[in-house]
Amino acid sequence: MTTPPTMPSTTPGSGRQREEPLLRVRNLATGYGDLRVVWDVSFEVRPGQLTVLLGRNGAGKTSTLRAVSGLNKASAGTVHLAGRDVTRMPPHQRVRLGMAYVQEGKRVFHQLTVEQNLLLGGYPRGMRRSALRDEVQRIYELFPVLGSKRTLPAGSMSGGQQQMLAIGQALMAKPQLLLLDEPSGGLAPVIVSEVMERVESLKETGLGILLVEQAVEASVRVADHVAVIDMGRVVLSARADEVDDLHVIRDAYFGRAGQ
C-alpha cells in the first residue's frame, strides 16, 4: 500500500498560496496502556478547511483524535498547533491555545437548558458574563434552532439538535481548531445532511476542522482533504476533489490502495 503525495500548497484555480497548517500531525503513534492502536499517522488541517479521517471500526480514528486532543498520550510522533509543539501538553492547555473537542455521543447536560449548556462551554476561557452572552448570541446565529429552544432542557431536543448544541458548546470557547468525533452517529440520513451543512458553514469563519466519520459520502462532500486510516496507519491521503470517485476510498478501506 502506498500513500499519495500530500496536497499542494495552492488552491486549485485560485493561484494563491494556502495558509500554513493550523494543525500538523507527524508520525503519530498512540494507544491504551501497553496496547498500541495507532502506529504511524500524519496529516494537516488548515484554517478554514476540513480534514476528514475515514476508516473501518477499530482502524484507529478516535484514538488519533484523542491523542491530538491530549486525552491519549502520544508514544511517538508530534502534534503542532499553530506552529507550537503541543505533543506533551495536557488537554486543558490545548483548549487555552484554541483547540476544542466534541466527543462522540452528543454529550450535553440533559437537565440543563440549551442556554445553560452554552454558557458552561465558555467558562474555560474565563470570559466576563457580558462576553459570554455575546458568544451565546453568535452561536444562535450559527444554529438558529438552538435560539428558538434556548429555555428548554437539552434532553428534550432531537438527536440532531443535541449534536448541534454539543458543537455550539465547544465553539463557545472560541477555538481555532475544532475536533469532531462521529457527529453523524445515531442520526437519520436527512439529519446527517443537515449537521454536515452546519459543519461546512463553520469553515467560512476561518475555523479549522478535523472530522472523524463513518458517513463517507456526507463527509467527503464537505471535506477539503481526506485521510483513510487502516490498522493504525494512513493508507490514503489526498484532496477531496481527487477522491470524488468513492471506489478510491473503498479500495483504501479494504487494503487495495496503490496496488
C-alpha span between 91 and 47 (Å, rounded): 21
What confidence score (pLDDT) does residue 98 get?
93
Q: Which residue has the cell 500538523?
A: 24
Is residue 43 a contact partner of residue 78, using CB atoms and an 8 Å limit?
no
E-assigned strand segments in 182-232: 208-212, 225-230
**219-233 pLDDT, tens per residue?**
889 999 999 999 899
| Domains of the chain, start order | 33-98+176-259 (3.40.50.300), 108-174 (no CATH)
Q: Is the pLDDT of residue 13 over 50?
A: no
Burial 113-139 (b: 16+ CB within 10 A, else e): bbbebbbebbeebebeeeebeebbebb
> In this structure, which long-range contacts are made by residues 82-86, counting pairs with CB atoms below 8 Å and at least 24 apart in sequence?
82/22, 82/176, 83/20
Query: In sequence order, which ranges of 97-188 are alpha helices (DSSP H)?
Result: 114-122, 129-142, 144-148, 159-171
DSSP reduced 3-state for 143: coil
Q: For the chain, what is the mean pLDDT? A: 86
**Which has the minimum average pLDDT: 3-12, 195-204, 211-220, 226-235?**
3-12
Torsion of CA 121, 124, 130, 134, to 10 degrees: -40
Count of beta carbons in the 10 Å neighbourhood of residue 174: 14
C-alpha span between 31 and 115 (Å, rounded): 36
- In which band, very low, low, confident or very high, does the pLDDT at 253 lie, cut at 50, 70 and 90? low
Its pTM stands at 0.85
Burial 154-167 (b: 16+ CB within 10 A, else e): beebeebbbbbbbb
Q: Is the pLDDT of residue 124 over 70?
A: no
What strands lie across the sheet with 233-239, from one edge to the other?
84-85, 74-81, 23-32, 35-45, 233-239, 225-230, 50-54, 208-212, 177-181, 99-102
**157-191 pLDDT, tens per residue?**
998 899 999 999 999 988 999 999 988 888 888 88
Beta strands 50-54; 74-81: pairing state: unpaired
- In which band, very low, low, confident or very high, does the pLDDT at 256 lie, cut at 50, 70 and 90? low
What confidence score (pLDDT) does residue 156 get?
95
What confidence score (pLDDT) does residue 244 get?
63
Q: How confident is the model over 186-210, as a mean pLDDT? A: 89
**82-119 pLDDT, tens per residue?**
999 999 999 999 999 999 999 887 789 999 999 999 99
Q: How confident is the model over 7-20, as a mean pLDDT? A: 44
Q: Is the pLDDT of residue 215 over 90?
A: no
